A and B are shown apart, each in its own frame.
Chain A
Amino acid sequence: MTQLDAVVIHFPDLEAAELSIWIERRWVEPDIDGTGNWTFREIDIARVRLIYDLRRRMDVAEDTIPLVLSLLDQLYDVRCTVKAMTQALKDLPPEVQAAVRSALKQRNMDL
């Protein structure tokens, strides 16, 4: 059983052929091991589930998937950045945190 088959077994109506097309289009990017086989990490499988939900459950058109994934990737990147900044802020002295919070409040933002 290839890694591809081991992944699609979790989905009632997903064939290895369709999954390999998703990989070809770089919607999912599993690692390649020394023997040239795909290796799926947890994040890759979660991404397959996401694409599966978009296609099967939400009926998102195939040619719209890249748009959705691109927007989601940007959203998650921004969330990572905000998270990192919030963490960095927590390491700063309380008066700085207070100053940043009040500056954000003036701009109607909140951390």
Chain B
Amino acid sequence: MLASLPRDGIFSVKMKDPYEILGVKRDATADEIRAAYRKLAKQHHPDLNPGKRESEDQFKAVNAAHDLLSDPQKRARFDRGEIDASGAERPPERPFYRDFGDDAGRTKYRTEAAFDPEDIEELFGRAFRRDRGEGFKARGPDAYYGLTVGFLDAANGAVRRITLPDGRTLDVNIPAGVNDHQILRLKGQGMPGIGGAPSGDALVEITVAPHPLFRRVGNDVVLEMPVSLKEAVLGAKIEVPTIKGPVSLKVPPNSGLGTRLRLKGRGIAGGHEYVEIKVVLPHEPEPELEEFLKSWTPRHPFDPRAKTGKT
């Protein structure tokens, strides 16, 4: 009902039934009228609705209705039909706070969070760089893409082709050693510019997929390598994977948990590969080994749980 009030409809507003304007019954108590009025005043106060021009008329209508109905004598006369709704006093014209609050030159009551005019200029300046006298030119906006690459491609470098939303394809040169979440900037591959200005850049965020064997620590690659009991005790020459393919590695005798072997320069961009030895016991029963261990007295007995504090 109130929402459809005409912009300059103060006269027609005043002819409206005040009970209807406040949305109360004709036998409403003074408290009900006050409560309804407060609710509508909060809803329609112009200063709380700076973007709604019509709120001023709505607020005035609500005030006029309340003025009439909150005065017992006026309300009784209205109910008896002695005065109509327009008999209510016209509220004096008044400036609202919003008339000043919207003033861009306003210096009072500003919050610190407000934009500095220089910020705005900078914003516009950056978005629309103008060339003197040559008409308008603007560099195209940057475009953002995501690309997931395998661990080995990230370590060794690769070229990946991505298809853009507009159907164009883009070859992304992934440099060796690229990090997870690193952003590659491809000059001039973003949105086209205006007026012959250069295009923006394409920003490609790289996600590096994890590898089942390799783990990256800085530029080093860490790898856990299972060896048999015999290899661990006697030493062995085994083949281990690196990011550039398998190499041969000499496992020294008496290697075990905690043995970390370095393959110099086999990591990423000059880093190393570290091989962590993991001893795996035979899967099938080995009666001879069992017999030997039963009769075996270690030459250097030691308690492997000495440092756990639980012995």
A contact residues vs B (CB 8 Å cutoff): 29, 41-47, 49-50, 53, 57-60, 70, 72-81, 83-85, 87-88, 92-93, 95-96, 99
Interface size class of B (residues with CB under 8 A): 35 or more
Instruction: Name 16 extra pairs, CB < 8 A, besides A43-B109, A76-B101, A84-B104.
Output: A43-B108, A46-B100, A47-B97, A49-B94, A50-B96, A50-B97, A57-B38, A58-B38, A60-B42, A74-B114, A76-B106, A77-B113, A84-B120, A92-B136, A93-B136, A96-B128
Candidates A43, A57, A59; contact of B97 at CB < 8 Å: A43
Q: Give the chain B neighbours of A93 by CB distance below 8 A.
A: 135-136
Q: Give the chain A neighbours of B136 by CB distance below 8 A.
A: 92-93, 95-96
B66 to chain A, nearest CB (A): 8
- Would you call B302 an interface residue if the criterion is a C-beta within 8 Å of the partner chain's C-beta atoms? no
User: Chain B 102-124, CB within 8 Å of chain A: the 1/0 string?
Assistant: 11101011110111010011001
Let me know if B48 and A72 touch, CB within 8 A.
yes
B147 to chain A, nearest CB (A): 24
Q: Give the chain A neighbours of B109 by CB distance below 8 A.
A: 29, 43, 47, 73, 76
Given A81-B114, A88-B124, A58–B41 Cβ distance below 8 Å? Answer: yes
B65 to chain A, nearest CB (A): 13
- DSSP majority for the B interface? loop
Let me know if A83 and B108 touch, CB within 8 A.
no
Let me know if A49 and B97 touch, CB within 8 A.
yes
- Closest residue on chain B to residue A91 by CB atoms: B124
B80 to chain A, nearest CB (A): 27
Q: Give the chain A neighbours of B51 by CB distance below 8 A.
A: 79
B window 116-152: CB within 8 A of A: 117, 120-121, 124, 128, 135-136, 138
Let me know if B138 and A96 touch, CB within 8 A.
yes
Given A77-B111, A79-B51, A88-B124, A99–B104 Cβ distance below 8 Å? Answer: no
Let me know if A79 and B50 touch, CB within 8 A.
yes
Candidates B37, B42, B50, B99; contact of A75 at CB < 8 Å: B50
Q: Give the chain A neighbours of B110 by CB distance below 8 A.
A: 73, 77
Let me know if A29 and B108 touch, CB within 8 A.
yes
User: Chain B 67-81, CB within 8 Å of chain A: the 1/0 string?
Assistant: 000000000000000
Let me know if A43 and B100 touch, CB within 8 A.
yes
Let me know if A85 and B41 touch, CB within 8 A.
no
Let me know if B96 and A76 touch, CB within 8 A.
no
- Would you call B194 an interface residue if the criterion is a C-beta within 8 Å of the partner chain's C-beta atoms? yes
- Would you call B262 an interface residue if the criterion is a C-beta within 8 Å of the partner chain's C-beta atoms? no
Given A43-B106, A77-B110, A99-B194, A58–B42 Cβ distance below 8 Å? Answer: yes
Let me know if A85 and B103 touch, CB within 8 A.
no
- Closest residue on chain B to residue A53 by CB atoms: B45
- Would you call B95 an interface residue if the criterion is a C-beta within 8 Å of the partner chain's C-beta atoms? yes
Let me know if B111 and A59 touch, CB within 8 A.
no
Candidates B47, B95, B113, B115; contact of A42 at CB < 8 Å: B95
Q: Give the chain A neighbours of B48 by CB distance below 8 A.
A: 72
- Closest residue on chain A to residue B50 by CB atoms: A79
Given A29-B109, A70-B111, A88-B124, A79–B101 Cβ distance below 8 Å? Answer: yes
Let me know if B96 and A80 touch, CB within 8 A.
no
